[in-house]
Amino acid sequence: MSIRLNKYLAAAGLCSRREADRLIAEGRVEVNGQPAGMGLLVTDADRVKVNGRTIKSAPDKVVLAYYKPVGVTCTARDRYADKPLGEIFRYPVRVTYAGRLDKDSEGLLLMTNDGLLIERMMSGSQGHEKEYVVKLDKKITDILIDKMITGVFLKELNLMTRPCQVKAEGAYTLRIILTQGVNRQIKRMCKELGYQVKSIKRIRVLNIRLADLQPGEYRRLTGQELESLYRSCGLSD
């Protein structure tokens, strides 16, 4: 069966289809020794290379729940990062993250070799829920909670955040559920309202929970948990 080249690269776990299109446009992809064109159809019998490296057909899908520790940067390699994720996290199959966490944040990070799943999870238009426990530098007020629930205008981005779910877990701790992927959204929202974030822990993405994982630990998703994740993303595993 033939499929589009960008889907082939995504299914092989190399990248998302959007990133695959960029690689193709930049002339970094070859099929059977020739530069690949956009929209090209390929099969497992074709020889596909990216930057001179042969890309094999899609491996078995792997999805992991990983507890990213504080201090680890979501990048494969970065000479300026003390602890790049690509050097800290080890697994027999090549996987990458679906939805990053800041260096000074911790908690649930989904790791997979399924480029289509990554693409769906990285799309802010999908409205996927992500849940966080956030500690602040000052006591929480009802005014703060009400403003965060209805949306906060981020002046530096000229953007109003979507309504979200927020409740107090203590005098200084909030539980927040977001449905969009604005960079450093929680920190930006709190800053606009006169607060500083002391710590952020992501405890859930869609139906996947951090549960009892400890920093640096991971578990492979299987069964109903994995099936529900794929269904939530409009895919079947």
Which residues are designated catalytic?
Answer: 102
Q: How far, in Å, CA of 140 to CA of 28, rounded?
A: 51
Residues 6 or more apart whose Cβ sits within 8 Å of residue 111: 62, 63, 64, 66, 89, 91, 95, 96, 97, 98, 218
Say if CB 167 and CB 217 are below 8 A apart.
Answer: no
User: The tokens 């260096």 sit on which residue?
Assistant: 103
Residue 161 DSSP symbol: P
- Nearest one of 137, 13, 132 to 68, comparing CA atoms: 132
Instruction: Write out the two tokens for 121.
Output: 């999870």
User: The tokens 């969009």 sit on which residue?
Assistant: 180
User: The tokens 């709190």 sit on which residue?
Assistant: 190
User: The tokens 């491996």 sit on which residue?
Assistant: 59
CA dihedral 237, 25, 40, 54 (to 10 degrees): -70
Residue 222 DSSP symbol: -
Q: Which residues lie across from 219 on neighbouring strands?
A: 65
Instruction: Write out the two tokens for 172.
Output: 């200084």
